[in-house]
A and B are shown apart, each in its own frame.
Chain A
Amino acid sequence: MDFSYSDEQRMLKDMVDRVVADQYDFESREKIVNSETGFSADLWNQFAELGLLAVPFSEAAGGFNGGGAELMVVAEGFGRGLVVEPYLSSVVLAGTFIDAIAGDDKKAALIEPIVSGETRYTLACYEPAGRYDPYWIDTTAEKSGDGYTLNGFKSVVLNGDTADKLVVIARSSGDAGEAQGLSAFIVDADAQGVSRRGYPTIDGHRGADITLDNVSVSADALLGEEGKAAAALQYAIDRGIVALCSEAAGAMEIACDLTLQYLKDRKQFGVPIGSFQALQHRMVDMRMALEKVRSLTLWAACSLEAPEAERRQRLSAAKAMVGKAGRKVAEEAIQLFGGMGMMDESSISHYAKRIVMIDHYLGDREYHMAQLRDMTLAGQDAA
């Protein structure tokens, strides 16, 4: 047992921290968030040059073969700066999905442009009726001629407005909710029949609702075997959860730091408000919430290769804790900042928004608590 970073992990951390510290101050971020695309192409290229876009990919795919710990290091750093570039959508979700499902003959060619930053993908999976259930897919894939025809609707697709390519999860057979029968296709974002309604999200990112209306794709667009996409989907979502929890840990750390500094600087009744015990104890509670998230995130990140039951439990525990402890930190930060916490011009309000809204990606607290309940009941059957 050893929780210290390896030399390589330490270097990766320093690199991410430096980019964020040098180029991601609050004003720069505001400009990026309010730009037309909602991310900086320039920074994206820098991430590519630094190798950050290669971190979670296998060597076969031309990646660094980074595990959960490496992903955690990168995402935590991004969380500290509230980085909005499409790392989660293109690299972590769509990218590792392709890495997991594509044959070795195709893999390198597909992932190379992701790693170079040239092509941005996103995973078009979730649908309104399924909320956070990745298997609740009504979008259909029907064989037609040599290829397939896709019909359906995808909701809140992360960076769906600017992605070059979509990885669409569609159903070849079976009913909504079933893992069997799911297939994955690569679809050009501007293909005939794809219509996208893009929008900003409240936490500074971008999303799109996407309609697929008789979209024709060639047989070549199919990733992996027909009807067998579920395992790769889980692989990608697991990594997405680690990235989100790590990002939350990084953002919560800064939210705590900013709040603590404010308690020391802000004076009322002639003294720093941090001298009041009622506020001191709330600050301690915030730090305790942060430690819990750090602990469970670390556990989840180091469990990506663990057996199914442990992996599922630790990922759901971490994500559910982020939902609870993250909200606590965000609400307390706003409260302790008082009126300033309510202001758009205060960075703390942006941290609070991101921390709370992370709960709405890849399964919220309620969803993951239900997963844990089901696991306990399954344990009952085994016992």
Chain B
Amino acid sequence: MEIEYNDSERAFRDEVRTFLADNLPSTISNKVKQSERLTPEETVQWHKILGEKGWLAMHWPEEYGGPGWSPIQKHIFEEETAEAGAPRLLPFGINMVAPVIMKFGTQAQKDYYLPRILKMEDWWCQGYSEPGAGSDLASLKTRAVRDGDHYIVNGQKTWTTLGQHANMMFNLVRTNPDVKKQEGISFLLVDMDTPGLTVRPLITLDGEHEVNEVFFDDVKVPVENLVGEENKGWTCAKYLLTFERTGIAGVGISKAALEDLKQIARTQMVHGKPLIEQPSFAERLADLEIELMAVEMTNLRTVAAAEAGGVPGAESSFLKIMGTEVRQAISDLYREAAGPYALPFQPHEDEIVGPDFVAPAAPTYFNLRKLSIFGGSNEIQKNIISKAILGL
């Protein structure tokens, strides 16, 4: 039993650190550290930097251009990039549509889409949720009807994250309304420039434009954009959910956020003393520290089990719940640390009212409420654990 990294693991960590020091633009990392939103160009820039290095798609098999890392190496990469202030990678292409294409796609689909994803030539978004289909995803209604060499798609998707920047969208659509709901669904790739497709912004409670609704009005999609068999889309959707989720706990990001919070609590004064010395604040900070350590080690145990050949299944549901709970709690204490200056709403001001750190405090707290809702709400995760692990 050895909880420390061995020599080769440490050497790999140093290699990643050196690469980040040399290649992560400070314009980007500074924004990430200040919780500022990146421009789409900056997001693409970082993906391309990693793509050129061959490190963009760490979960991919080597035959498709993955780096061939072990679970521990992947974990080290996630930790180091988070600590250095690298932006979180867009999961939609690399970790969502790509694995489905690898598993169920045609050779032509693999040859065309996978290299483009590796070079960040397409910005993918996800067409899953609908106004009437959230946790009960299989009840989706967006309809695709075969018409010669095309499907004609009509309906509406929602919560489409960063869809305003995307040029490609993978969708679950209903191709057969007359069978059990899971059995009439297909997995369809859609070019966002197709006539009849409209993206409309949804402004969230933090004032940001992060998600969208997407309307389909007689959108013609070539039949060759079907992935897998018609009416077998639910199989693709389920496969996607089991694909590599060790990063789901977001430990690196939470650690960086907690360090940030500590730093702030050292500088904020209450009655002439640093906030960090206030007993009730310090108590909550210590509690978060313990909780985060527990998530970190639980995550490492899962990584080590994967290293030993195990396949993380429903265990990742534990990690999702634990990881999101602690991340939300950190953002809560951060908001409190901002004090009265959490109030001024100044999402895009150059000259911040109050200390530098206050501007994102409340908006981030509200924005991160999403963590326990998306990616399978935490209640859905508990249902999964009940069924798969507890046998209830």
Contacts and interface: CB of A to CB of B under 8 A. Distances in A.
Interface in B233-289: 262, 266, 274, 276-277, 279, 282-283, 285-287, 289
Interface in B315-344: 318, 321-322
A320 B290 contact: yes
Nearest to B290: A317
A259 to B, nearest CB: 10
Give the size category of A's interface with B. Answer: 35 or more
B2 interface: yes
A327 interface: no
A283 B286 contact: no
B389 A287 contact: yes
B290 to A, nearest CB: 5
B385 A263 contact: no
A98 B185 CA distance: 70
A150 B296 CA distance: 47
A281 interface: yes
Given A288-B322, A295-B301, A260 B390 contact: yes
Given A2-B1, A260-B390, A302-B1, A373 B382 contact: no
A4 to B, nearest CB: 6
Interface in A300-330: 302-303, 314, 317, 320-321, 324
B336 to A, nearest CB: 16
Contacts of B293: 295-296, 299, 314, 317
Contacts of B303: 1
Contact of A3 (B276, B285, B304): B304
B261 to A, nearest CB: 11
Contact of B300 (A1, A275, A277, A317): A1
Interface in B22-70: none
Contact of B1 (A69, A283, A376): A69
A268 to B, nearest CB: 15
B300 A321 contact: no
B308 interface: yes
A1 B175 CA distance: 48
A273 B329 CA distance: 32
A292 interface: yes
Contacts, number: 136
A211 interface: no
B383 A291 contact: no
A150 B277 CA distance: 40
A284 B381 CA distance: 10
Interface residues of B, number: 47
A369 B383 contact: no
B5 interface: yes
B72 A1 contact: yes
A280 B2 contact: no
Interface centre among B9, B283, B386 (most CB of A within 10 A): B386
A372 B286 contact: yes
B3 A1 contact: yes
A292 B326 CA distance: 12
A373 B283 CA distance: 7
B215 to A, nearest CB: 34
Contacts of A320: 286, 290
A166 B359 CA distance: 60
B390 A287 contact: yes
Contacts of A291: 294, 298, 318, 322
B379 interface: yes
B334 to A, nearest CB: 16
A274 interface: yes
A5 B6 CA distance: 17
B297 interface: yes
A4 B392 CA distance: 29
A383 interface: yes
Contacts of B298: 291-292, 294-295
A263 B290 contact: no
Contacts of A280: 382-383, 386, 390, 392
B1 A3 contact: yes
A298 B297 contact: yes
Contacts of A299: 3, 293, 297
B202 to A, nearest CB: 29
Given A280-B390, A283-B390, A377-B282, A369 B385 contact: no
A222 B73 CA distance: 52
Interface centre among A1, A296, A299, A369 (most CB of B within 10 A): A1
A298 B386 CA distance: 25
A9 interface: yes
A57 B379 CA distance: 47
26 contacts: A1-B2, A1-B6, A2-B1, A3-B2, A3-B3, A3-B305, A4-B308, A260-B391, A263-B392, A280-B390, A281-B382, A284-B321, A284-B390, A288-B318, A288-B322, A292-B291, A294-B298, A295-B297, A317-B289, A317-B290, A317-B294, A372-B289, A376-B286, A377-B282, A380-B274, A380-B276
Given A69-B1, A281-B382, 18 more contacts: A1-B3, A1-B303, A1-B304, A2-B2, A2-B307, A3-B304, A5-B1, A9-B1, A277-B383, A285-B382, A291-B322, A295-B293, A295-B294, A299-B293, A302-B2, A373-B286, A376-B282, A376-B285
